[in-house]
Amino acid sequence: MVTRRDFFKITGTAAGTAAVALAGVETAQARPALDPDRMGVLCDFTFCIGCRRCEYACAGENGLPQGALESYDDKSLLEKTRRPDRQTFTVINRYPALAGQSGSLDVKVNCLHCEHPACVSACPVSALVKNARGPVTYDASRCIGCRYCMVACPFQIPAYEYNEPLTPRVMKCTLCSDRILAEGGIPACVEICPAETMVYGTRDALLKVAHDRIRNHPGRYVDHVYGEYEAGGTSWLYLCDRSFQEVDLPAVANQSPAEVTEAIQHGIFRGFTGPLMVFILTSVILKSAGKGPGQAREDKHE
Amino acid sequence: MSNRHAVPFITPGVRVLLALAAAGLAVLAIRLVWGLGAVTNLNDQYPWGLWIGIDVATGVALAAGGFTTAFVAHVLHRHKYEVLVRPALLTAALGYTFVGLGVCVDLGRYYNIWHYFVPGLPNGNSALFEVGMCVCLYLTVLYIEFLPIVCERFLGRVNLPGALRALNGLVEGVLRVLQRTLDRVMTIFIILGVVLSCAHQSSLGTLMVIAPDKLHPLWFTTILPMQFLLSAFAVGLAMAIFESILASRSLKRPLEMDVLAPLARIIPFLLTIYFGSKLIDMVNRGSYRYLDDGSPQSVAWLVEVIVGVVLPWAILLTHRLRRRPGWLFSAAAMVVLGVALNRINVFIIGYKPLYADGPYVPAIPEIVLTVGFISILVLLYRAFVFIFPVLHDEGEVHHA
Ligand code: SF4
């Protein structure tokens, strides 16, 4: 027979133990602060000539199948809309010229390195992290391969090595973090580009440049810097002559999707309020329900 | 052992299950040697498929009988329902074990799963971390809840062979102490089970809230966690009824209608709250606009709701039908099917990636593995029922 005092003693202790046991869950960190001077890339689609040298440099930099430089002169690939994949972290897609204008538009696609990345928020074991200086990097040795990052990414960027039986990796652009985090380095694609399509610099400065360009060249751009606010802001910023949805960049909310889930997670688990409340409520019901009028109170001891 | 049961363990049905199980294990072997790409249709657009949608998401929902029956019988002290607690507990313990296995099969680097416990790695922002952690803790709780049944099975019957016979007394003693301790603390584990279940049943819904542009508007809502929890309550009880009738039939035992019918009365009430939250949210978001566009998603939504909610709701509210085993069974099965469909809709059919080349259709080996795992689960359930005093009224009443 468990007495009432026993009961509360035991539940009390258990509540404490549960709180400790669940302590791993309550690691809901505040988001690490971003460096005010964090870096980014401004990519002006109207400059791009579709030479695909950035693809070449990127493959070399990341140890991906690269091939000879000449093979990138094959422009037929530009005509189909490609996506980055496990062997190509960046691709150039060509879109036809706007009515009444000459020259097609070439669009560079790669990881945008969100300011508040959904993939980082989603990763259960912190294999993806947002570096305060800008890059979103991946540590394969931590990864469990759940692929929740791929579900979470609003731009659908991460690719996966499904055919690796033992050590599959999540594959995506690193913003050449090894290069840029070392003093003076710049991303390989930016470095090789002969058309100055990309400018590498602090995100703040790039935003100014972008808006200046829009102001100084009326008619050349739509008045929209993609990435300034998209998904809570991204390290890559784009300029374009037409709506970004026409070049297959998604119309995403200005809030990171992680904002909502983190609010839910924190709302429920901050200080274990949620679980603790269910615990207490259940205990109280358990203790009182058995004594309701007309309710034969059965011995807990059975 | 089998003398407690009117039927033999091996039947033609069991043989079929054994064959299916073997096929599933063969797929598992291929997956381990050649990787996920060799057996699945997963790709960069569809990182999650059948195994996450069914083995994990649906598995967790359908194993909700463990905590819901425990809540009704032990927390609300409706002790007549206790006969349902043990079978539901067994389903939950086996179900969650297979959820864990299912996850591991799907994980690219399953051998890193222990990273969940490495200081510094766990990410509390991640709903998936929380789901994994709670499932892991809850599985432990379930095993502990099952221990008294093991004690009961062997107490007074410990009979070790040969030289070990000398230890019989010792083992008896250990079992007795274990049983007494468990009896004292079991309440805690029952409450813990409820807490952990509420936590991860809802977080399973949070998982997809991070993909607002990919999940079809018929299902996407920020209250998805709440809807997952509410539907888990309903399906937990439905599952307990469903499997009780199924087990009685298969083992040729009398039906427990006098407990099942009153328990079934609670389900329409739970369904009303669940469906209410769905409808209010739908009006709020204006997502009813997607209902008549003839898309596979709109059809899937309607089937989920009509078969899984409206029909069983009507049947269970009709007093006459509720008391008929056939109708009761159908209604419970519909609720189970409806919630299963809901999870499949949220994780598979409603998942519409931005740059998909076409829909995801599971590969044959994916299906074979899932069917194989379910077969193993059913076989284990049967084996446990034969070995342990799980089902009520087996000539040896359990007065724990
Ligand atoms: S696949 Fe790896 S990197 Fe992506 S969320 Fe899972 S553990 Fe993190």
CATH number at residue B151: 1.20.1630.10
Cα–Cα distance between B361 and B349 in angstroms, integer?
9
- Inter-chain contact B211–A152, Cβ cutoff 8 Å? yes
Q: Is residue B8 part of a domain?
A: no
Q: Which residue has the higher pLDDT, A7 or A34?
A: A34
- Predicted confidence at residue A3, as pLDDT, reads 55
Q: What local confidence, expressed as pLDDT, does residue A5 receive? A: 57
Gap between the Cα atoms of B306 and B311, Å rounded: 6
Chain A residues 114-173 within an 8 A CB cutoff of chain B:
118, 121-126, 142-148, 150-152, 154-156, 158-168
Domain presence at residue B329: yes
For B365-389, the pLDDT digits (tens) are 999 999 999 999 999 999 998 888 8
**Domain coverage including residue B257:** 43-387
**Residue B74 domain flag:** yes
Residue with tokens 């389900």: B267
3-class SS of residue A81: coil
Is the residue at B217 inside a domain? yes
* B24 occurs within a structural domain: no
pLDDT at A9: 59
What ipTM goes with this model? Answer: 0.92
Residue B218 falls inside a structural domain = yes
Collect all residues of chain A within an 8 Å Cβ-Cβ radius of residue B211.
151-152, 154, 257
3-state secondary structure string across A282-297:
HHHHHHHHCCCCCCCC
Residue at B269 is within a domain: yes
The residues, ordered by sequence, that sit 6+ positions from B322 with a Cβ below 8 Å of its Cβ are B261, B264, B265, B315, B316, B328, B331
Q: Report the residue from A142, A289, A295 with minimal CB separation from B75.
A: A289
For the record, the structure tokens of B190 come out as: 């029952």
Q: Which domains does chain A have, with CATH numbers?
A: 32-271 (3.30.70.20)
Task: Report how far Cα A245 is from the mean position of its chain's Cα atoms.
Answer: 19
Amino acid at B80: K
CA distance B207 to B351: 12
> Which positions ≥6 away from A16 have C-beta within 8 Å?
none
Assess whether pLDDT exceeds 50 at residue B397. Answer: no
The neighbour count for residue B324, using CB atoms within 10 Å, is: 15
Ligand 1 centroid – CA B139 distance (Å): 23
Tell me, yes or no, whether B394 lies in a domain. Answer: no
Distances (CA, A) of A85 to A57, A71, A211: 16, 18, 31
Cβ of A140 less than 6 Å from ligand 1: no
Q: pLDDT digits over A279-298, tens only?
A: 888 888 888 876 554 444 44
Dihedral of alpha carbons B204, B207, B212, B214, sign: negative
Residues whose CB is less than 8 angstroms from the CB of residue B50 and which lie 6 or more positions away in sequence, other chains included: B40, B348, B362, B366, B367, B370
- Report how far residue B99's alpha carbon sits from residue B54's, in angstroms, rounded to the nearest whole number: 9
Q: Give residue A236's region: left, alpha or beta (phi > 0; psi -120 to 50).
A: beta
* 3-class DSSP assignment, residue A108: strand
Tell me how many domains chain B contains. 1
| Residue B214 contacts residue B352 (beta carbons within 8 Å) | yes
> What span, in angstroms and rounded, lies between the C-alpha atoms of B162 and B358?
64
pLDDT for B335 beyond 90: yes
